[in-house]
A and B are shown apart, each in its own frame.
Chain A
Amino acid sequence: EAGVTQFPSHSVIEKGQTVTLRCDPISGHDNLYWYRRVMGKEIKFLLHFVKESKQDESGMPNNRFLAERTGGTYSTLKVQPAELEDSGVYFCASSDAWEGDTQYFGPGTRLTVL
């Protein structure tokens, strides 16, 4: 069974540009989460989808971040316009409602904003 995949693995952009990150969860997982790790800090929650609906977006830093999960399968996270402080590693995780709290993580996208 394929795990959680993310694309791209690394993105380098200039301040003011737009970047879109993609996450493909494990097939059949209704729950999809986005997290971010900024250098030197712990991994922090951004938002949670249940199927195509946003369940909790309390961790989204500001309105420059837009997440979607059309059709309840893959998800995208767009940052527009990117700022220097958006640099970090963006992780996606998915979980099955039947497995309790265990979330399975993707390899992350390392975003560098210059």
Chain B
Amino acid sequence: EDKVVQSPLSLVVHEGDTVTLNCSYEVTNFRSLLWYKQEKKAPTFLFMLTSSGIEKKSGRLSSILDKKELFSILNITATQTGDSAVYLCAEPVYNQGGKLIFGQGTELSVKP
């Protein structure tokens, strides 16, 4: 059965710190891995990763995929209080219409 596991489940840091969030997966017929940020309402799309070793970057956020070891990391540098959110990792299930399998999420809290 396809599975996505995130760690840690929660994290408290101070502004300016750098954080690394982890996502490991067990899926048949890997296609891609998605990262979302959820504040109060809708999960908002961050990255889609399909190839190993190629970093995706957006401002202070970056993510990379390791298809051999079956994991991805999401890095946030120079954290700000606005980065406080739940970060979700998800896998689309191959040949099942692309439905997403989610991890439990990592709840990040950035203190001033």
**Structural contact, B43 and A100, CB atoms closer than 8 A:** no
Q: B24 CB to closest chain A CB, in angstroms?
A: 14
Please give the residue numbers on chain B whose beta carbons come within 8 Å of chain A beta carbons, in ascending order. 4, 31-32, 34, 36, 41-45, 48, 88, 90, 92, 96-105
Please give the residue numbers on chain A whose beta carbons come within 8 Å of chain B beta carbons, in ascending order. 3-4, 31, 33, 35, 41-45, 48, 50, 55-56, 58-59, 91, 93, 95, 100-108
8 contacts between A and B (CB under 8 A): A3-B42, A35-B100, A43-B100, A56-B96, A91-B43, A100-B32, A103-B34, A104-B45
**Structural contact, B48 and A101, CB atoms closer than 8 A:** yes
Q: Which residue of A lies closest to B88 (CB)?
A: A43
* Given A107-B41, A108-B41, CB of A42 within 8 Å of CB of B104: yes
Q: Which residue of A lies closest to B91 (CB)?
A: A101
**Structural contact, A106 and B42, CB atoms closer than 8 A:** yes
Q: How far is the CA of A44 from the CA of B102 in the complex (A)?
A: 7
Q: How far is the CA of A41 from the CA of B16 in the complex (A)?
A: 30
Q: How far is the CA of A55 from the CA of B99 in the complex (A)?
A: 10
- Measured between beta carbons, the chain A residues less than 8 angstroms from B100 are 33, 35, 43, 45, 93, 101, 103
- Measured between beta carbons, the chain A residues less than 8 angstroms from B102 are 35, 42-44
